Structure 1
Amino acid sequence: MSLIRGKSTEKTKASFPELFFDLVFVFALIQLSHTLVEDFSSTTLAESILLILAIWWLWVYTTWITNLLDTDKEAVRLLLFALMFGGILLAIALPEAFKHRGTAFAALYCAMQLVRSVFMLYAYKGVDRPSYLTFVRITVWVIASSVFWIIGGFASLEARVAFWGVALLIEYVSPLARYWVPELGASPRETLDISGEHMAERCALFVILCLGETILTTGRTAAEHMQSNLSVMVFCSAFLTTGFMWWIYFHHGQQKAADKAETTSAPETVAHGLFTYGHLPIVAGIILTAVGEDFSLSHPEEHSSLKTTLAILGGPGLFLIGNIWLKLTAARKPPLSHIAGLAILLGTPVVLPMQQNFTIQMVSTVTLLLVALWEYVALRKAKATTA
C-alpha cells in the first residue's frame, strides 16, 4: 500500500499528527530563548544562529515530507512519533550543544535527517521514479552534511562552530543546487507534487507557535518582575508587540503567500522561496523578540547596551525583513510600510543612544503599530479604488 498522498488528493489541511509533532519544537524554541537570555554574548549569539538554522531545517523539511505523505497511514505516524522523540532529546541537548553535549546533539540531528530521508526512499521506491531519484540525491547531501556534523561534535568549541557552519551551508545550498550529485546530475524542476496551500498553512501554524512561545516567555518573566507600575507598562508593551507581529503577518501577508503557492505553475520552486527560506527570518525575529522582551521586563530602567538594543530592536527588524521578502515574492510589490518601519528600527540606536530599556521597548512597539496601521489603511484604500 502506497504511503504517498495520491496525486488526485489535494492536501490542504494540517493533520493532527503534524500538529502533535510541532509541539516538540515549542520546547526547543523555549530552550533556545532561555540560552540567549542567560548569556547574550557575541559567542552565544553566533552559536544560537547556528542552532536556529538547524532547528528550522529539521522542522521545514519534515513539513515537506508530510506534505507529500499520507499522514493517515500508520507507518507515517510512527515516523513522526520517532522524530518527535528524537526532537525532544535534541531540545534537551540544545543548551549544552556547544559544551559537553555536542556529540549527542550532532548524532541526534543526523539520525533524524537520515531516518527521514531513508523513509522517503522506501515510500517512493517503485511508486514514482523521478521523485525517488530526487530523494536519492537528497540523501547523498544529508550524508555529506552529516560528516561535518559528527566531526564537529567531537571537535573543540572553535572548530565545532566552523564544522557545523559548513554542515548547515551544505544543507541550505542543496535545494538551490537542485541536489546535484555526480552521475545523477541535478533534480529536474517541479518533480515533487507539492501542495502549496498545505505548506502555507503549516508555516502559518509554526509562526503561531513561535508567537505563543514569546507570550509564554514574556508571561514567565513578568510574573517574576511585576513589582512596579513601570513593569506593568513594559509588560503591556511587550504583549502588544507580539499582537502587532501577529497582525502584520496574518492580516495580509500569509494569505497572499497561500494564494501564490496555490495558484503558481511552479509550486516546488515557489515553496522554497516563500517557505523554506522566506519564513526563516520571521521565525528568527520572533525568537529574538522574546529575548529582547525578557531584557526590557527584567531590567526596564537599565540603560540599554548594544546587546540589549540589538535584541529589543533586532527581533522586530528581522521579522519585518522576512515579511518584506514574503510580500514582495507573493505580490511583486514592496510593502513600503515595512521598509519604513525597518528604517525606524535601524535609526533608533543612532537617534536615541543609551536610552533605558523600557524606552527602546516602547519604540519597538510603536514602530510595529505604525507598520500595521499604515498597511491596513493602504489596503483599505486599494480595495476602495478597485471596487
Structure 2
Amino acid sequence: MREQRMSGTDRSAAAGEPVAAERAGVLRRVMRGRDPGEEHRASTPLELLFDLTFVVAVSQAAAQLHHALAEGHIGSGLAAYAAVFFAIWWGWMNFTWFASAYDTDDVPYRLLTLVQMAGVLVLAAGVRAVFVDSDFTLVVVGYVIMRVAMITQWLRAATEHREGRAGALRYAAGIAVVQVGWIARLWAPPGTWAWVTFLVLVAAELAVPAWAEYGGRATPWHPEHIAERYGLFTIIVLGEVILGSLAAVQSAVTEHGLTGTVVLIALGGLLLVFGVWWIYFAGNDAEFATLGTALTWGYGHYFVFAALAATGAGLEAALSAVEHRGQLSEQGAGLTVAVPVALVLLLLGALHRVAGTGSRGHLPLLTAGALVVLALGFSPPLFGLGGAVFGLGLAVGAILAAHLVAFHLQRRPPA
C-alpha cells in the first residue's frame, strides 16, 4: 500500500520542498500533498500546541462527568459526555488527518489553525451548559468555527493541489452541509427529537471522509505520522487523568487527612494509567492496508479517548465517595472506574488486531482481563473502595505482564 500511495503523490523531495526545519514560518507556499513515505515525519510544534487547547476541552468534559456521576445523574451525564466528547474528538481528528496530508506550515495555514484553536476554546466554555441545562448553543458555535476553518483549508487544497482536487472539494462540500445541519439543530425541540437529530448529524459527519475518499485519489496522509499523533493525544488524555485525580486526592486529604483508602485509590489510579499506557504502546507499528482499516482504527479511538478521560472522572468520583459527597455508593464508585477501564481494554484488543499491532491471542487476553476488571468493580463491599481500586490497578498490571510475555514468545526465534 505504501508504494502505491507514494507513486501517486507529489513527493516533497522531487518537488524541491525544503526539509521540515526550513518549512516553518514561511509566508506563503503552494499547498501540495505531502509525501506519505517521507522519512522521520514527526508532529510539529504547531500540532502540539493545537493539542493543548483540546486537552482543555477534554478536562472540562471529564470534570462535568465527574460531578454528574458523583450526584447520581449517570444516564444524563453519560449522554451529555458522549455528545460533547464527539465534538471535541471529531474536530481534533479532522485537523490531524488533514495536517498529515497538507501541512504547509506557512502563515495562512497557521492562522487558520489559530481559528480552530479559538473554536475549541469556545466549545470548552460551553461544556457546562450542556450538562446542566442541555444547552448546546456555545458548543455548536465553537464547533462550527473549527469546521469553517477546515472548509477553508480543504478549499485551499482543492485550488492548489490539482491531483487531489476532487476529494478536497468533496470534503469541503460535505463538511459545509453538515454544519448547516448543526446550526439548524439548535432550534430542534428538546427531548427525544433533539437526540435523534444529533445521531443523524453524527452519522453524516462520519460518512463525509468515506464519501470524499471513495472512487478518487486517496488523500496523502502519512501512516506513521497519524499513529504518532494518536499516541501523543493518548498521552495527553492520560495526563489529564493524572491531573484531575491529583486535585481530587488533595481535596480528600484537606477534608479528612491522608487515609488508607485515599492512598489505595491514588496508587490504584497510578497503576491503571501506567498499565493502560504500556498496553497501548506495546506492539508492532500500525498497518493501514485499506481505507476501511484506517477509518476503523481512527474512528475507534473516539471510544478509547472518551473511556480514558472517563476513567479519570471515575477516580475523582471514587474520591468524592470517600469524602461522602454526592449520591454515589461505594459499589457505584467502583464501577465508575472499572467500566471505562474494561472498555479501554476491549477496544485496545480490537484495534490492535485491526491494525496488526497485537500478539497472537491478544484480543482474548484483553477480553478476559476486561471481565476481571468488571468483576472487581463490584467488589467494594468485600475489599472496600480503596482495596477495589487498588485491585483494579494490580489486575491491569497482571494483564500487561501476560501481554508482554505473549509478545516475547511470539518474537522468540524457534529453537
Range class of TM-score, shorter chain? 0.7 to 0.9
Query: Which position in structure 2 is the counterpart of 1:119?
Result: 153
| Aligned match for 2:241, one of 192, 214, 226 | 214
Query: Which position in structure 2 is the counterpart of 1:272?
Result: 295
Q: Of the two, which has the highest radius of gyration? A: 2
- How many Å apart are 1:126 and its aligned residue? 4.5
The residue identity in structure 1 corresponding to 2:64 is T
Query: Contact 1:63–1:202 (CA<8 Å) still a contact in 2?
Result: yes
- How many Å apart are 1:307 and its aligned residue? 4.7
Paired residue total:
370
Distance 1:231 1:347, change over 3 A: closer
Deviations 1:18-53 (A, max 9, x none): 100000111001100111111122112111111111
For residues 155 and 173 of structure 1, the distance between their equivalents in structure 2, rounded to whole angstroms, comes to 22
SS at match of 1:39: helix
| Aligned match for 1:344, one of 372, 379, 386 | 372
For residues 76 and 241 of structure 1, the distance between their equivalents in structure 2, rounded to whole angstroms, comes to 38
| Aligned match for 1:202, one of 194, 207, 229 | 229
| Aligned match for 1:149, one of 175, 182, 186 | 182
For residues 90 and 53 of structure 1, the distance between their equivalents in structure 2, rounded to whole angstroms, comes to 12
- How many Å apart are 1:386 and its aligned residue? 4.4
For residues 273 and 36 of structure 2, the distance between their equivalents in structure 1, rounded to whole angstroms, comes to 39
For residues 36 and 391 of structure 2, the distance between their equivalents in structure 1, rounded to whole angstroms, comes to 50
Tell me the TM-score normalised to structure 2 length.
0.81
Query: Which position in structure 1 is the counterpart of 2:8?
Result: none
| Aligned match for 1:19, one of 32, 42, 48 | 48
1:242 and 2:273 correspond? yes
Matches within 5 A, 1:1-387: 1-7=29-35, 10=38, 12-40=41-69, 41=73, 42-97=75-130, 99=133, 101-129=135-163, 131-158=164-191, 159-176=193-210, 178-179=211-212, 187-188=214-215, 191-226=218-253, 227=257, 228-252=259-283, 255-257=284-286, 260-261=287-288, 264=289, 266=290, 268-274=291-297, 276-300=298-322, 304=329, 307-331=332-356, 333-335=360-362, 336-348=364-376, 356-386=384-414
C-alpha RMSD over aligned residues: 2.5
- How many Å apart are 1:305 and its aligned residue? 5.9
SS at match of 1:164: helix
Distance 1:128 1:309, change over 3 A: farther
Distance 1:197 1:190, change over 3 A: farther
The residue identity in structure 2 corresponding to 1:377 is V
Q: Provide structure 1 residue ranges, at least 5 long, that are not aligned to the other structure.
A: 180-185
Distance 1:201 1:339, change over 3 A: same
For residues 335 and 86 of structure 2, the distance between their equivalents in structure 1, rounded to whole angstroms, comes to 19
Query: Which position in structure 1 is the counterpart of 2:3?
Result: none
For residues 185 and 330 of structure 2, the distance between their equivalents in structure 1, rounded to whole angstroms, comes to 33
For residues 379 and 161 of structure 2, the distance between their equivalents in structure 1, rounded to whole angstroms, comes to 61
The residue identity in structure 2 corresponding to 1:18 is E
Distance 1:174 1:363, change over 3 A: farther
Query: Contact 1:211–1:286 (CA<8 Å) still a contact in 2?
Result: yes
Higher mean displacement: 327-336 or 295-304: 295-304
The residue identity in structure 2 corresponding to 1:145 is V
Higher mean displacement: 200-209 or 99-108: 99-108
Distance 1:97 1:281, change over 3 A: same
